[in-house]
Chain A
Amino acid sequence: MRTPAIALVAAVSLFAFCTRASGQEYATPAPRTTDLRRLHALAIARAVHAYFTRGIADEQRGAWDDAARSFEAVLALHPPEPQNSTARYDLAIAYAGLRRYDDAASQLRAALRADPGFLAAWANLAAIDLRRGDLAEARDAARRLLALAPSSARGLYERGLIALQDGDLRAARTAFSTLAGSNPRYALAHYDLAVVLARSGDLAQAEREFRLALALAPRYARASLGLGVVLVREGRLADARAAFAAAAAESADDPVLHVLALSLERELEPPPAP
């Protein structure tokens, strides 16, 4: 009689030892205060958390209007740092998705006033300014990013694009050379460097960089087109025609580039035999 009772007690003890009580879990701790100011702060914190969660989910599915509303709601609650600058950064992404580039830049500037060391905000400000054509601010944003993170590939890439758009070939060459040096297998670093060199009249180096880009990305039609242009300037018409043919073959998804490459290829067709 005693043995089964001991066994039962042992089994129950073992079960209790091996299992843990499960209960409802909350994303944020339940309030343990009756202080009104403290309760208000906790309510704000919960609302901020909920809006952030919803806004980020909306951005991930491209629902920019919904995302913008969520982050505007966060900012209306006047959260402290780092939530303030973060909400402005996230709101800028939503505005950019809506093509409201001026509003996006404005939010990023405000985020950077609150947190001047915010690398991702500097990077996105430069990218947005490139799209809205504010090259002066874009240049400054890329400069600030590189001052904080000197080996930033994104900073170098953005600085190079900005300089090219600005016609500053020397700055563009420096940026893309540095990027290609630290990323020798990055096709676009070689492509952009080739564009700079071609515009500078350095055809031999431009050809070399276009070929490097194509060795890394053989289906990059723009590099084939650029190579063809350089080869024509060098007087190598047969090679140029082959490059234009390659550009035409790889540009089915880019009708404008495709027509241009085809047109150039036909221009270089050898005359029919008499």
Chain B
Amino acid sequence: MKRVYVNEEWCLGCHLCEYNCAFANSNEDDMILACKDKSLDARITIEDRDDGVHFAVNCRECKDPLCLKSCIAGAIFRDGDMIRIDKDRCVLCYSCIMACPYGALRPTKEKVMGKCELCTDNGRKTPACVEGCPNKAIVFEER
């Protein structure tokens, strides 16, 4: 399955992917409306290390996902190769956050848990983080 991969060799730590993600998932058609004076609501996070290494973290679509196992409401489910969240069922208990070793989940403004669904849930062909990366550090491909 095609998913988002990160090549830290080319990651500049510019954090544009976070803003592109937040915009893509905002239901706004203007990035300024989506992001200005608002807390950043992104499903990808850049980890910056002092030695200059930057790395974008998002859901890795685990084969054996701990989040799914830990979900008390049965909101996290497998859809083919992808892991999705049923927003109607989520009770925001944070169990998945505790379980995910990558920190790929976080609560959204809609008061449910959110994770990267490769922009399949917002009508895009390519994930916004990949499209907006200025240095091809984030790629969307089959491996």
A is bound by B: no
Interface residues of B (CB under 8 A from A): none
Interface residues of A (CB under 8 A from B): none
